[in-house]
Structure 1
């Protein structure tokens, strides 16, 4: 008898998966595909049916698609889908997940809450500043593109590149601000990332490297060299960090970047909790 079988027979009657993105959905589906017959509950913070995120910065943003929901029948799979329920904490001693709608008991808990975008310091509350992470974010940005605003994209990473493409296709004037010396500096080696600078020029977007945002004002972005870039809207794409603040006080070990620490079997430092 394998260790996995022993654990299932001893404890696992109810699996709760926190996070209804790609990882969470695939985990829930895989449990059924591999023959797990106990309860499977999938909890998502957003009210929308679980969806794929990459199309948000392309077809959904440009109005070519209304959404990107996964083509799955959760009811037929026996997956209890609970949406609009933000996870607030975990109490491992009680084997309970705390949510905004009350506690949810589990025998095994899977953490799949992914990452959250890093916000631009000093820009919160300034009108016209946007993130692009959720379906609601994409819906808010649709009319911005339709009105063909001058747009400043802060960050020349993947999100910045994809949004700049969509905005140029919509007819917007786009300026991309990047603190590093090249696009995708944090994601790719220099010899791979450097040619991306020419891509921005080819697309008609202006790329400014070695540039840092000093502050955002209504209608403009002020850089650290004192220059002002007109901005009917600002889209921030300066990276993401693990969405793990809700695990505070749970005893689940987090790493240097606030990521959940797990072993090669995806087990965290707390029994019956996986990531």
Structure 2
């Protein structure tokens, strides 16, 4: 056995986050010959799954889930699900979880992003987000009952959900604060034709409109209009899920993303960041990028 193999087997990589980035990290380590211990920690209780089908097949009841076809046991990956990570102690090389601390030699942070909520909408009956498998399952009966639905936000989630809801026979109104769909992620020349998505699906698109409040049964706009709504789906973007890193000295950017370098190393030794929770310097564009899709 070579010295390199001995060192590999002695090292323990802990990956926090069991979404696409975290799963692919674990798979890539094995594919590239890493023989040490790998622990993959996920906050959700479900088998790691892909998110895009949530707003399509899963939402419409055409599939029960979208689990990755990965045999974690065969890969020798210790999969710990339903476990919230609440902090990291870099000096001791440990992450803190609800069930105790987990030691690491190398830590990979892949906690992704969390959806933004509309101020004042928390706890209002009939208000939904669409980010997790449980979110999609909660929205199924809403579509089955063909409710009147207001979607706040004409981004990717808004477009996909509106299309699915119209396919299910719901009456859909999409409210967007900007003057066009996808205004924050695409140039006007590219985004403008996408207005046709809503027309083709039969959804009403209301642009240049800000939501003042969400109350049971209605969405109130700043211009005084009142939109009847049996359900409201909020899709106004996401932010990096990095709040649990407070006090760790891991450097974050102004948007809350971990500022990784070109090799995805963070500001602390032996700690890396991948996926939606991290920004990285792009040699192609000459600036730091944070990509959520």
TM bin (shorter chain): over 0.9
Q: Distance in 1 between matches of 2:245 and 2:268?
A: 12
Query: Structure 1's 33 and 201: CA in aligned 2 closer, same or farther, altered over 3 A?
Result: same
Instruction: Please give the secondary structure, in 1, of the residue aligned with 2:195.
Output: helix
State which of 82, 86, 108 in structure 1 corresponds to 2:106.
Answer: 108
Of 49, 64, 67, the match for 2:65 = 67
Q: Which has the higher mean CA deviation after the structures are superposed, 155-164 or 198-207?
A: 198-207
Equivalent residue for 2:152? Answer: 154
- 2:229 maps to which residue? 231
Q: Which residue of the partner structure matches residue 241 of structure 1?
A: 239
Q: Counterpart of 1:85?
A: 83
The residue that corresponds to 1:173 in the other structure is 171
Q: Distance in 2 between matches of 1:84 and 1:103?
A: 15
Structure 1 ranges of 4+ moved more than 3 A: 8-12
1:245-256 map, 5 Å: 245-256=243-254
1:59-107 C-alpha deviation (Å, 9 max, x unpaired): 0000000000001110010000000011100000110000111111000
Count of residue pairs the alignment pairs up: 270
Aligned residue for 2:74, secondary structure, equals: coil
Give the structure 2 partner of residue 259 of structure 1: 257
Residue in 1 aligned with 2:50?
Answer: 52
Shifted more, 169-178 versus 94-103: the winner is 94-103
Q: TM-score, normalised by structure 2?
A: 0.90
Deviation, structure 1 residue 12: 6.2
Q: Distance in 2 between matches of 1:180 and 1:10?
A: 51
1:10–1:79 Cα change, 3 Å: closer
Q: Structure 1 residue 9: deviation in Å?
A: 3.6
Q: Give the structure 2 partner of residue 144 of structure 1.
A: 142
Deviations 1:207-250 (A, max 9, x none): 00000000001001000011100100000000000000000000
Q: Structure 1 residues 116 and 220, CA, compared in 2 at 3 Å: closer, same or farther?
A: same
Q: Which residue of 1 aligns with 2:22?
A: 24
Matched, 1:204 2:202: yes
Change (3 A) 1:200 1:10: closer
CA distance in structure 2 between the aligned counterparts of 1:11 and 1:90, rounded to whole angstroms: 23
Gaps of 5+ in 2: 274-293
* Corresponding residue to 1:188 among 161, 176, 186: 186
Aligned partners of 1:11 and 1:107 also within 8 Å: no
Alignment of 1:211-230 (within 5 A): 211-230=209-228
> Would the aligned equivalents of 1:12 and 1:107 in 2 still touch at CA under 8 Å?
no
How many angstroms does 1:114 deviate by?
0.6
Q: 1:145 to 1:55 in 2, by over 3 A?
A: same
